[in-house]
Amino acid sequence: MDMSVFDLFKIGIGPSSSHTVGPMVAARRFLVENAPLDDVTGITAELYGSLALTGVGHATDKAVILGLMGETPQDVDPELVDRMLAAAEEAGELRLLGEKTVPFTRAVNLVFHKTENLPEHPNGMRFTLRRADGRTAHKVYYSVGGGFIRAEGESAAPAAASTPVPYPFDTMEQLLDLGQRTGKTIPQMLRANELARLGEAELDAGLDRIWNVMRSCIARGMEITGQLPGGLNVKRRAATLWRHAQGADRANALPHDALNGVTLYAMAVNEENAAGGRVVTAPTNGAAGIIPAVLKYYAEDCKPLDPVTGVRTFLLTAAAIGMLCKRNASISGAEVGCQGEVGVACAMAAAGLVAALGGTNAQIENAAEIGIEHHLGMTCDPIGGLVQIPCIERNGMGAVKAITAASLALKGDGTHFVSLDAVIETMRQTGADMQAKYKETSLGGLAIHVVTVNHAAC
């Protein structure tokens, strides 16, 4: 497999991995590839397809400008973003990579092509740079989901592809066969593959950092109230519902309250994401709440004897499922709908939970298959082009489904009718058959029907 666990889990900012993280990375990469910049006189960024249609709601415009300024998703301070962008717009200029100042305003230098698509993916963008002697340079990039980008005509394989690993796999069938032949569990094989690229201390520190960022995101989302940006006037609910659940009603706790907590954990993360906060793509920002919520459920409600090792096992196993889905189908809502985001995250979380609880390889595969199977056909139809409705609640539901899938798998012996490989291929074909208006364009589904109803009411 040509991916690392850290390709699937990236630290960045909201609200979207494909529409915010990817474009920020692409904009910065374009300038780095065209350095030096001392004779540059101007730059234009053009957005196509889904990036154009839902770009403002997904903060693509902000992300591109930040990337041109030299910012990176993992290091930019979410608290300073609006101030930085306002100052640049007021000045009418950008300092490219912090080095070269050129004229720039959104109205002139950022172009949205809402009726055009570039050929290789719905999330396309073109950058054009002009130099003092009249020469120009331009390049097309695609944001292919989960913060991954590729240039036009470039292989989609991440840098990890150049490193041989002891347990190579392209399908779950191959991974299960490797496990049978070697006696290794899926997380053991994934760990060995990662150790071919980096040291043990570095791997564990990286996994622990991912979990720490996830936990911090949940904690922040459980504290902050108020209204989300974007114009829909959506109120944050996770913090208020959590305080209510911990209050006077605690004496009358019900058996399902643990699952209610899981729902709120997931919603807290996605409210943070919608507000442009610090999150981990898991495997995308739109589905970023599911894995943290199920991990917190594992670490606190399942009462593991060794939670640190269990969390690492969870993340490695979840990454294996995400790798298979990305390689053999897609994790891009603009390409296959929300089945590739929430559906894949649910499968990853279910598999990770089974592994952390000591399940077999067959049970891990079964849990992942259940997680995706019951999201097949799910559309990506965000209202107003914002990662808010139905995305926030959808994460809460996906987290509960993941726990249910894990429970079903752990109570069986791993035997089942539909293989994970088959359901991933089904997801790919379903996405190919799905009309474009249901794939992160806000041209169909809830995105138009709710707005139509609201207009009629006025």
* Cβ–Cβ < 8 Å for 264, 399: no
Rg (alpha carbons) of the chain, rounded to whole number: 22
**From CA 288, how far away is CA 299, in angstroms rounded?**
18
- In this structure, the dihedral spanned by the alpha carbons of residues 396, 246, 280 and 49, taken in order and rounded to 10 degrees, is 40
**From CA 73, how far away is CA 24, in angstroms rounded?**
7
Residue 209: DSSP 8-state:
H
Domain ranges of the chain: 19-143, 172-451
Closest CA to 186 of 197, 194, 178: 178
* pTM for the full predicted model: 0.93
Would you state the pLDDT for residue 2? 81
Helix axes 81-91, 60-68, angle to 10 degrees: 80
Q: Please state the φ and ψ torsions of residue 80, each to the nearest 5 degrees.
A: -100, -10
Closest CA to 295 of 274, 266, 322: 266
Spans of the chain, pLDDT less than 50: 159-160, 452-458
Give the total residue count for the chain. Answer: 458
Q: Alpha carbon 432 to chain centroid distance?
A: 20
* pLDDT tens digit sequence for 192-242: 999 999 999 999 999 999 999 999 999 999 999 999 999 999 999 999 999
Closest CA to 328 of 131, 156, 108: 156
Cα dihedral 287, 340, 153, 156 sign: positive
Would you state the pLDDT for residue 458? 31
Q: Report CA-CA distances (Å) from 17 to 32, 182, 349, 448, 455.
A: 21, 36, 18, 23, 31
Closest CA to 238 of 181, 293, 198: 293
Closest CA to 120 of 106, 139, 107: 139
Burial class, 191, CB count within 10 angstroms (exposed 0-12 / middle 13-18 / buried 19+): buried
Would you state the pLDDT for residue 251? 61
Helix axes 342-356, 307-328, angle to 10 degrees: 140
* Cβ–Cβ < 8 Å for 357, 317: no
* pLDDT tens digit sequence for 153-174: 887 555 445 689 999 999 999 9
